[in-house]
């Protein structure tokens, strides 16, 4: 019995040193490394177990049976804690990607929303066209109150010329009196076979006298070509 105790005596010191090493490792991990208590305790237990097994082995002892109980008392409980901790996050890490992958699949269906893009603005440019057509002298589709002025009162306008002027939309003296130089050029271009007669015979000047002074006054002035 004494020989067996002498052989096993160094084992108790080795495990005591291993436990002290585990406490030191726990303090360093918590204070210096700022680890949480549970991971620090697990790692400190591992350090204590390894140090105890190395220092507590009966190096040079003759009785192997005496050392066996000391290994069984310390080793089994603490290493098992390390084995149980990692598997839990592993199941969560595997389950999480499955949910992440399945979620985007449901979101792939909505995109086929092909809304017709605004085709309405195509009608807007058409509004500007009618404004450009309102150019040139004022024309009428028919004489006012169904009765046209006798344009033959103007010197230079005969029956054929009056008929042509009516066909172009001119039935009254005030229409001719309101012509501008640009209007005269435009109407003159439409006078088939009579180009230049409007300016040469002074239609606009004669029409202005008729409108402003009256037909009788015009006839008096026409005798001397005073227009």
* pLDDT values of the chain reduced to their tens digit, one per residue, 227 residues: 444 445 545 567 777 887 887 778 777 877 877 777 777 778 878 877 787 777 766 654 444 444 444 444 444 444 444 444 455 544 444 444 444 444 444 455 556 666 656 665 555 545 444 333 447 899 999 999 999 999 999 999 999 999 999 999 999 999 999 999 999 999 999 988 888 999 999 999 999 999 999 999 999 998 988 88
Question: Do the Cβ atoms of 175 and 208 come closer than 8 Å?
Answer: no
Cα of 10 vs its chain's centroid, Å: 79
Output the six-digit token pair for 111. Answer: 């995109």
pTM (predicted TM-score): 0.42
Domain coordinates of the chain in residue numbers? 2-87, 144-222
How far apart (Å, rounded) are the C-alpha atoms in residues 79 and 75? 7
Q: What is the pLDDT of residue 15?
A: 74
């Amino acid at each position: 019995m004494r020989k067996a105790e002498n052989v096993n005596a160094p084992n108790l010191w080795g495990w005591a040193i291993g436990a002290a090493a585990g406490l030191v490792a726990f303090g360093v991990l918590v204070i210096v490394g700022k680890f949480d208590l549970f991971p620090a305790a697990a790692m400190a237990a591992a350090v204590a177990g390894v140090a105890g097994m190395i220092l507590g082995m009966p190096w040079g002892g003759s009785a192997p049976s005496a050392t066996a109980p000391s290994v069984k008392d310390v080793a089994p409980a603490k290493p098992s804690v390390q084995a149980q901790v990692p598997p839990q996050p592993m199941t969560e890490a595997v389950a999480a990607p499955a949910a992440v992958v399945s979620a985007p699949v449901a979101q792939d269906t909505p995109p086929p929303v092909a809304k017709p893009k605004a085709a309405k603005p195509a009608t807007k440019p058409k509004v500007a066209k009618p404004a450009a057509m309102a150019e040139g002298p004022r024309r009428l589709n028919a004489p006012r109150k169904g009765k046209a002025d006798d344009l033959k009162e103007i010197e230079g306008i005969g029956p054929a010329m009056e008929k042509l002027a009516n066909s172009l939309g001119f039935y009254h003296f005030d229409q001719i009196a309101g012509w501008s130089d640009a209007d005269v050029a435009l109407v003159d271009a439409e006078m088939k076979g009579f180009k230049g007669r409007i300016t040469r015979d002074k239609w606009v000047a004669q029409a202005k006298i008729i409108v402003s002074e009256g037909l009788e006054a015009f006839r008096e002035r026409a005798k001397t070509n005073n227009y």
